[in-house]
A and B are shown apart, each in its own frame.
Chain A
């Protein structure tokens, strides 16, 4: 059974995303895909389906959606206010969106990127083997009022599952490894980089985010003569004025600005999710440690499905609470219980 989801209203940064399109680096196209890949895995676990399916990514602000037939959905990533026909529903959980009901998703309460998943995934056209919009490359476009997304056949069943959110929406310490050009920075600058508390800058998008501090810019030795080299998501480029800029999934594929280090992939969601102004710190770790972290993270992601638990409804979110017989079985205390 396939169906459709109609966009009744959408914030400015709502796009379809999946794991992106690896394999086109050779042609100048970075992989792209969801800014927070962990959120994709969480949505897939909640719906009991493959993580390759496309979801709707919402940058800071959601929208209103309506399905033409009953649709299983899951909500992950940056927690946002969500309701179905006015009744609040839990985030990081799966739900049934009945045919014709209105799903309203508001602004992020913390973090940046929220995700709406559908049973069977969204089946927008593929370009170069993926459905993800890659705005920097001119592939796809933000979703807007009136757009209709096809959903794929849903072989899974059941809703009402929750998943404990992984805490990655409030900044904090991000682990980095030394990379190609780290050695161009004097030791004192690397130490200062680790000791600085940065704020995520207000500019920034799926290509990358600036990180700002009150201190001076970071200086290199002989960086002007660096030949342009391959760039990967997580690379921390230091621009001409010394401001570090962390590259995200939609980054360019080559660049000449020196890079002070690379964010370990499992910590990249923490960076992508940091809202403007959020405090961030960086800590260098050895490559071997980063490899172990990545292997452990891959295993954890693969096991997410077993971490899902049945959702217990929060009485505060039940508008018809008084219609329930909540005191069945209770006694007044005067009865003869024998």
Chain B
């Protein structure tokens, strides 16, 4: 087993429903599988085959939805195989035009009441947990579940903590929650099993704005610790104090 893990898994092509196909680069989240998925999606978008209606990524896979009247499973599968064979996708670089976002967050307090619980699960004091979470530079591995909502990783190994067995009935918009070496920054209020450790004032999806989505897969994010009073002052800013610089 241990030797096998060094090798990247073989990509797998599966069907999704009736008119979709998924190219998976692993059965678990890993940095190379995530990079491969992002790069393969970008390649698919560039190919823009007739009949392909939509492409997207999840954590370790690229998804294709196609029009059954213009494309069939056999020929799409053959094309995907051919594209897969073109290069080592696990060695792919991250997408271009990436940015580093610094987003102010309150860790703990009654704004993010599960920090103590999360710190304990990670074997840290609350101060250590805040220091660890606010020094980590995490990457947008995928956007999903809700509009503009990022899965961010990968955190230090101490944060390989399980999701809760019981759901939190409502986590607010802008909440920063932690589990399984990842952070999720919530774009809508929703029930969740992730632990609410931080709170931001950022709005990830603004339907009326010229650029409705703040983050893109590949962007990096660092959360800077602020006080509840400072966060209150940032609420008038639709970006909630978030600032970006180009990475290239």
| Known pairs A27-B143, A128-B207; A225 contacts B28 (CB<8 A) | yes
Q: A27 touching B148 by the CB < 8 A rule?
A: yes
Q: A253 touching B57 by the CB < 8 A rule?
A: no
Q: A228 touching B147 by the CB < 8 A rule?
A: no
Question: A321 contacts the other chain (Cβ, under 8 Å)?
Answer: no
Q: A27 touching B54 by the CB < 8 A rule?
A: no
Note all chain A residues with C-beta closer than 8 A to B26.
227
- In the complex the two chains form, what is the Cα distance from A203 to B17 in whole Å? 24
- In the complex the two chains form, what is the Cα distance from A249 to B181 in whole Å? 31
Note all chain A residues with C-beta closer than 8 A to B158.
none
Q: A294 touching B147 by the CB < 8 A rule?
A: no
Question: B187 contacts the other chain (Cβ, under 8 Å)?
Answer: yes
Q: B18 touching A254 by the CB < 8 A rule?
A: no
Question: B43 contacts the other chain (Cβ, under 8 Å)?
Answer: no
Note all chain B residues with C-beta closer than 8 A to A291.
18, 68, 72-73
Note all chain B residues with C-beta closer than 8 A to A24.
147
Beta-carbon nearest neighbor of A293 in chain B: B18
Give the Cβ gap from B51 to chain A, nearest Cβ, in Å: 13
Chain A contact residues, CB within 8 Å of chain B: 22-29, 127-128, 136-139, 177, 179-180, 225, 227-230, 232, 234-235, 252-255, 262, 264-265, 287, 290-291, 294-295, 298
Note all chain B residues with C-beta closer than 8 A to A253.
56, 144-146
Question: B120 contacts the other chain (Cβ, under 8 Å)?
Answer: no
The number of chain B residues touching the other chain, given as a range, is 35 or more
Beta-carbon nearest neighbor of A298 in chain B: B69
Q: B145 touching A255 by the CB < 8 A rule?
A: yes
- In the complex the two chains form, what is the Cα distance from A138 to B15 in whole Å? 30
Beta-carbon nearest neighbor of A262 in chain B: B17
Knowing that A287-B15, A298-B68, A298-B69 are A-B contacts, what are 19 other residue pairs whose CB atoms are under 8 Å apart, sorted by A's residue number?
A23-B54, A25-B65, A26-B56, A28-B148, A28-B149, A29-B205, A127-B212, A138-B188, A177-B17, A180-B16, A225-B28, A234-B17, A253-B144, A253-B145, A254-B59, A265-B19, A290-B18, A291-B18, A291-B68
Note all chain A residues with C-beta closer than 8 A to B142.
254
Q: B147 touching A28 by the CB < 8 A rule?
A: yes
Q: B73 touching A287 by the CB < 8 A rule?
A: yes
A-B contacts, 6 of them at CB < 8 A, read: A28-B148, A179-B16, A227-B28, A228-B58, A230-B144, A232-B65
Give the Cβ gap from A225 to chain B, nearest Cβ, in Å: 7
Q: A26 touching B55 by the CB < 8 A rule?
A: yes
Give the Cβ gap from B48 to chain A, nearest Cβ, in Å: 12
- In the complex the two chains form, what is the Cα distance from A265 to B20 in whole Å? 12
Beta-carbon nearest neighbor of B208 in chain A: A127
Note all chain B residues with C-beta closer than 8 A to A180.
14-16, 22
Question: B63 contacts the other chain (Cβ, under 8 Å)?
Answer: yes
Q: B59 touching A179 by the CB < 8 A rule?
A: no
Beta-carbon nearest neighbor of A175 in chain B: B18
Question: B128 contacts the other chain (Cβ, under 8 Å)?
Answer: no
Note all chain A residues with C-beta closer than 8 A to B247.
none
Question: B61 contacts the other chain (Cβ, under 8 Å)?
Answer: yes
- Interface 1/0 per residue, B137-153 and A, CB below 8 Å: 00000111111110100
Q: B68 touching A295 by the CB < 8 A rule?
A: yes
